[in-house]
Amino acid sequence: MPYMSLLKDFLGKVGEGYLLLDSEGRVLLANDFLLKRGLISQVSEEIAYYQCLKNLTAISCVAEALSEKRESYCQFSHEECEYALFAFPGGELCIVRITDVTEFKRYERSKRHFVANVSHELKTPLAVLQSILETLYDEEENPQKRNFLEKALRRVDELNRLVRDLLILTKLESGEERLRPERIGLCSLVEEVFELFESQASSMQVSMENKVPEGFSVFADPEKLFLLLKNLVDNGIKYNKVGGKLTISAYEDGRFSIISVEDSGIGIPKEHIPFVFERFYRVDDSRSRDLGGTGLGLSIVKHIALSHGGKVDLSSKEGEGSVFRVYLPLGG
């Protein structure tokens, strides 16, 4: 290839690893970064990627990209460093990029610790504040002062929820939260969640329908699954229209139990869909704040699904409604 030597020179100067493969997986080019970091052994002619790459996770990630002819991504550790690998197959070639993410991971961990510590430290003063305000409220007879105290108590309640959600999220993200999965009857769990939201739904005249087949079960941690459904149902009512509908159904596809939560609400504009699972992301800030939302609910949903080895996806149409699908491995 005429541009190969230019490419080789260029890739020799960049601070990340590049491996260029042909469609059979033979190495056409490997830059110095990979050798210096000990990620590959010396490359000789006609050598295949699995003969020179030293990490097994990296090898199976590249294998997946080549065999399924689609992009593949993984993270792995090697000699005290952490790396992210992205394999991009196309036509006759496959480009593999390996980036050092050690610093980024360290930063993420310290951010998580900071948030966890601050949230933890806030728990006790909030509990004290709440009990003082409750006592004052109970003893107060002046209606105007009672009104102030009621407002203050509502704010404390919001703060309590924020601290609770941040702590759950941090534990889920770090893998610290231990799951206790078991076989659960989904139909009755959905009924329990619906009972919790009865008055919220009726104040919006939203009808809730449980279409989970009788006897349908999933393998999951009951407490976490309850929390996941609670967040999706809360959103399905909160972001619905007056007189709207919320339906939960479930089915299996051979690999996953799929729980679908569908609403006929305001929907989510296309450009916001990729971000709604991020912490504190809200489509309409003022509307969500008025509704008492902090923007952590969907992040919790995502991490509960991930911690079960599953995932969540979302399809939505602005003005028409949304469908959240939770995939849980069949397991157990």
Ligand X SMILES: Nc1ncnc2c1ncn2[C@@H]1O[C@H](COP(=O)(O)OP(=O)(O)OP(=O)(O)O)[C@@H](O)[C@H]1O
Site residues for ligand X per CB under 6 A: 165, 231, 235-236, 239, 263, 265-268, 276, 281-284, 288, 293-299, 322
Start-to-end CA span in the chain (Å): 52
Smaller CB separation from ligand X, 181 or 297: 297
CA-closest candidate to residue 284, choices 267, 308, 262: 267
Q: Please state, in angstroms and rounded to a whole number, the distance separating the CA atoms of residues 324 and 300.
A: 14
Give the shortest CB-119-to-ligand X separation in angstroms.
14
* Binding residue for Mg ion, selected from 235, 240, 249, 299, defined by CB under 5 A: 235
Residue 319: left if φ>0, alpha if ψ -120 to 50, beta else—which one?
left
Smaller CB separation from Mg ion, 297 or 310: 297
Give the shortest CB-280-to-ligand X separation in angstroms.
8
Q: Please state, in angstroms and rounded to a whole number, the distance separating the CA atoms of residues 317 and 243.
A: 18
- Pick from Mg ion, ligand X, none: which does 268 bind, CB < 5 to 8 A by kind? ligand X
Beta pairing partners, 20: 29, 95
Give the shortest CB-216-to-Mg ion separation in angstroms.
25
Give the shortest CB-242-to-ligand X separation in angstroms.
14
- Pick from Mg ion, ligand X, none: which does 283 bind, CB < 5 to 8 A by kind? ligand X
CB contact set of 198 (below 8 Å; sequence gap of 6+) = none
- Pick from Mg ion, ligand X, none: which does 265 bind, CB < 5 to 8 A by kind? ligand X
Count CB-CB contacts under 10 A for residue 11.
Answer: 19
Q: Does 297 bind Mg ion (CB under 5 A)?
A: yes
Binding site for Mg ion (CB under 5 A): 235, 297
